[in-house]
């Protein structure tokens, strides 16, 4: 095969020989790069499906966590309200308390 | 008095510079590169060490220039007033440091040995997120289209250089400095200086070259293709139930596949994926990740930049072969961008879902600068058209693509 020439002393090759070798290398090179990336795309797709099927992420108990946060907020809200009522003599109350 | 003045004059580099004014060209070149790195902010992390390396290598008597070995490994230098020639590969490292100076020690121990390019790839991997590529997996194919410049210039350059030299020159089209250095060391080490400089300079000039090629080859209508709108019109059916697990398995799987198909690319792709793996594992390997992405990466960049710059001495750089490499490298770079754009245009002919050609233009390896530049171009035409994430897919694939192309060149020409 012509590629054997590539291993030989290329300095001795004529310009035409070098051109044909380069053309062959271009064909092989582009085909290989495309093949590798197509394989990576196929591999990625396969991995996505496999991971989705066998290793789906555990659903964290978000609702419970949110409820816990809410409970804390309520405690704080009550404490703030008690403080405001104590200062205002029971006349005023916080309507909305937000974390900044 | 006159004798003292003469001695002072001899002590300075002025006499040698007056004798050979070509040094002034090298200083001008160093200043231009420093200006581009500092003022224009073109890849300053790379360009500043390279430019400073060029500057300090070209002061006669400074001993900071890298001496290139000839085909037989011989370096010629003055020792005790006598010109000597020694085989650099038979010299011990302390001898290299003593006789040739510290810059040659850094060069022969870290660069010529081929150590730093894979080390830098490890750092690049640690800084790379394959998430955008996995989310837009099909766009990764443009990372192959944009390797066209490498092989197109190989074809042209084969008429002026040997095939090994042409291969080294052509790899500039991959837009990846470490890959260019790694390939050149294997194929044509005597051309390392101009090829490394051309590769890094063109990488730094990505903000100029991509807009130029895009302007010459794309219409306004094409550049206004809004990827998010296309996604809404033709939604993807792929869902991700565990992205973290996917990102951990992906580098391991890619390394295995590439190693089987192109073993010569493993030193680059393998290290890239190792760096990425220690990032994606998370807390358990966070110390390795931090070291790879900060300490090692930064130290490697400094040594690589300075010593590559120091290879640009007057004799090594100012010749016609270098000019040919600079011109050929530009063509390779331009053709690679065009190759990616052309592939997008071809796919748009046959697909209902249209793709913005900028995503093809970023199939280069220059991550993430190429994507940022493409995003800026898209925003100029449509302020709502953010293509960054889409471009990152082809851009990251381009790193793998150029490493595979390098592996092929080394495999057939090395």
Compute the distance between CA of residue B170 and CA of residue B340 in angstroms, rounded to an integer. Answer: 16
Residues of A in contact with B241 (CB under 8 A): 51-52, 55-57
Q: Assess B150–A contact: CB distance below 8 Å, yes or no.
A: yes
DSSP code at position A9: -
What token pair was written down for A28?
Answer: 């092989």
Per-residue pLDDT band at A63 (split at 50, 70, 90): low
Give pLDDT, residue B196: 85
The stretch A61-67 carries a mean pLDDT of 54
Measured CA to CA, the distance from residue B271 to residue B279 in angstroms comes to: 13
Secondary structure (H, E, C), A62-81: HHHHHHHHHHHHHHHHHHHH
- Total residues found in chain A within this entry: 100
The reply to whether B281 touches chain A by the CB within 8 Å rule is: no
Say how many Å lie between the first and final Cα of chain A, rounded.
Answer: 74
pLDDT > 70: what percent of chain B? 100
B-chain residue closest to A39, CA distance: B257
Contacts of A15 in chain B (CB under 8 A): 158-159
Which residues in chain A touch residue B176, judged by CB atoms under 8 angstroms apart? none
- Rounded Cα distance between B396 and B372, Å, is 13
Please give the DSSP secondary-structure letter assigned to residue B296.
I
Q: If contacts are CB pairs under 8 Å, which of residues 85-144 in chain B contact chain A? A: 133-134, 137-138, 140-141, 143-144
Predicted confidence at residue B59, as pLDDT, reads 92
- Is the confidence at residue B239, as pLDDT, over 90? no
Instruction: Provide the pLDDT confidence category of residue B219 given band limits of 50, 70 and 90.
Output: very high
Q: Which of A19, A25, A35 minimises the CB distance to B151?
A: A25
* Of the listed ranges A3-7, B16-20, B180-184, the one predicted with least confidence: A3-7
Judged against a pLDDT cut of 60, whether residue A8 lies above it is answered with no
Residue B238 touches partner A, C-beta closer than 8 Å: yes
Q: Which residues of A touch B257 (CB under 8 A)?
A: 36, 39-40, 43
pLDDT averaged over every residue in chain A:
77
- Distance from the Cα of A23 to chain B's closest Cα (Å) equals 6
CB-nearest to B401 from A28, A37, A52 is A37
Confidence of residue B323 (pLDDT cuts 50, 70, 90): confident
In tens, the pLDDT along B143-161 reads: 999 999 999 999 999 999 9
User: What is the DSSP track for B142-197?
Assistant: HHHHTTHHHHHHHHHHTTTS-HHHHHHHHGGGG--HHHHHHHHHHH-GGGHHHHHH
**Average pLDDT along chain B:** 91
Return d(Cα B224, Cα B203) in angstroms, integer.
26
CB-CB neighbors (< 8 A) of A48 in chain B: 134, 137, 238, 240, 246
User: What backbone torsions phi and psi does residue B164 show, to the nearest 5 degrees?
Assistant: -65, -45
The model's pTM:
0.81
**Contact (CB<8Å) A19/B147:** no
**Mean pLDDT score, B229-242:** 89
| DSSP line for B48-65 | HHHHHHHHHHTSTTS--S
Does the structure show a pLDDT above 50 at A16? yes
Which among A24, A31, A32, A78 is positioned nearest to B260, based on CA atoms? A32
Mean pLDDT of B31-44: 89
Q: Are A6 and B408 in contact (CB under 8 A)?
A: no
Q: State residue A12's pLDDT score.
A: 66
Q: Report the gap between the CA of B68 and the closest CA in chain A (Å).
A: 21
Which of the pair, A4 or A55, is modelled with greater confidence? A55
What H or E segment, with its residue span, contains residue A25?
helix A15-54
> What residues does B84 pair with on adjacent strands?
B77
Share of chain B above pLDDT 90, in %: 68
Per the CB < 8 A criterion, the answer to whether B272 and B121 are in contact is yes
Kindly indicate the confidence band of residue A1, based on its pLDDT and cuts at 50, 70 and 90. Answer: very low
CA proximity to A30, closest of B152, B360, B347: B152
Measure the CA–CA gap between B25 and B204, rounded to whole angstroms. 21
> Smallest Cα–Cα separation from B183: which of B160, B192, B152?
B192
Nearest alpha-carbon partner for B213 in B201, B225, B205, B204: B205
* A70-to-A74, A77, A93, B342 alpha-carbon distances in Å: 6, 10, 19, 56
Q: How many residues does chain B have?
A: 414
Q: Which of A33, A38, A41 shows the shortest C-beta gap to B405?
A: A33
Residue with the two structure tokens 């012509």: A2
Which residues of chain B make contact with A21, given a CB cutoff of 8 A?
158, 163
| Residues of A whose CB is below 8 A from B408 | 25, 28-29, 32-33
Interface residue A42 vs chain B (CB under 8 A): no
| Nearest chain B residue to A3, by CA | B412
Q: Between chains, do A6 and B412 touch, taking CB under 8 Å as contact? A: yes
């Amino acid at each position: 095969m012509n590629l054997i020439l590539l291993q030989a002393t290329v300095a001795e090759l004529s310009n035409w020989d070098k051109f044909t070798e380069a053309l062959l290398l271009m064909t092989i090179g582009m085909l290989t790069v495309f093949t590798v990336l197509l394989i990576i795309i196929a591999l990625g797709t396969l991995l996505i499906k496999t991971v989705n099927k066998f290793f789906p992420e555990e659903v964290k108990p978000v609702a419970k966590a949110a409820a816990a946060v809410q409970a804390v907020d309520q405690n704080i809200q009550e404490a703030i309200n008690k403080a405001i009522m104590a200062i205002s003599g029971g006349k005023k109350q916080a309507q909305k308390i937000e974390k900044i | 008095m006159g004798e003292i003045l003469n001695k002072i004059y001899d002590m300075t580099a002025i006499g040698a510079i007056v004798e050979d004014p070509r040094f002034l060209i090298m200083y001008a070149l160093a200043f231009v590169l420093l200006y581009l790195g500092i003022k224009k902010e073109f890849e300053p992390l790379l360009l500043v060490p390279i430019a400073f390396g060029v500057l300090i290598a070209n002061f006669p008597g400074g001993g900071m220039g890298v001496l290139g070995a000839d085909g037989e490994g011989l370096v010629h230098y003055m020792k005790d007033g006598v010109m000597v020639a020694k085989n650099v590969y038979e010299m011990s490292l302390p001898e290299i440091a003593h006789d040739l100076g510290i810059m040659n020690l850094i060069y022969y121990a870290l660069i010529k040995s081929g150590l730093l390019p894979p080390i830098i790839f490890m750092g690049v991997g640690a800084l790379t997120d394959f998430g955008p590529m996995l989310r837009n997996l099909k766009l990764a194919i443009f990372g192959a289209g944009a390797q066209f410049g490498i092989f197109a210039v190989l074809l042209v350059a084969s008429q002026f250089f040997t095939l090994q030299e042409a291969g080294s020159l052509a790899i500039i089209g991959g837009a990846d400095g470490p890959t260019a250095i790694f390939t050149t060391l294997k194929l044509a080490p005597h051309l390392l200086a101009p090829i490394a400089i051309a590769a890094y300079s063109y990488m730094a000039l990505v903000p100029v070259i991509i807009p130029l090629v895009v302007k010459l080859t794309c219409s306004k209508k094409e550049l206004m293709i809004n990827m998010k709108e296309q996604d809404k019109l033709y939604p993807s059916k792929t869902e991700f139930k565990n992205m973290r697990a996917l990102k951990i398995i992906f580098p391991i799987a890619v390394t295995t596949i590439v190693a089987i198909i192109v073993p010569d690319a493993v030193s680059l792709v393998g290290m890239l994926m190792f760096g990425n793996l220690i990032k994606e594992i998370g807390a358990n390997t966070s110390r390795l990740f931090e070291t790879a992405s900060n300490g090692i990466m930064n130290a490697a960049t400094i040594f690589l930049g300075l010593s590559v710059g120091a290879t640009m001495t007057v004799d090594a750089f100012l010749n016609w072969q270098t000019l040919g490499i600079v011109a050929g490298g530009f063509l390779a770079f331009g053709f690679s961008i065009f190759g990616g754009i052309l592939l997008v245009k071809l796919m748009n002919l046959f697909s209902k879902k249209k793709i913005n050609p900028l995503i093809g233009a970023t199939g280069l390896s220059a991550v993430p600068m190429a994507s940022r530049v493409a995003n800026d171009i898209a925003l100029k035409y449509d302020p709502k058209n953010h293509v960054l994430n889409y471009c990152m897919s082809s851009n990251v694939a381009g790193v793998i693509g150029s490493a595979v192309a390098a592996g092929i060149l080394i495999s057939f020409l090395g």
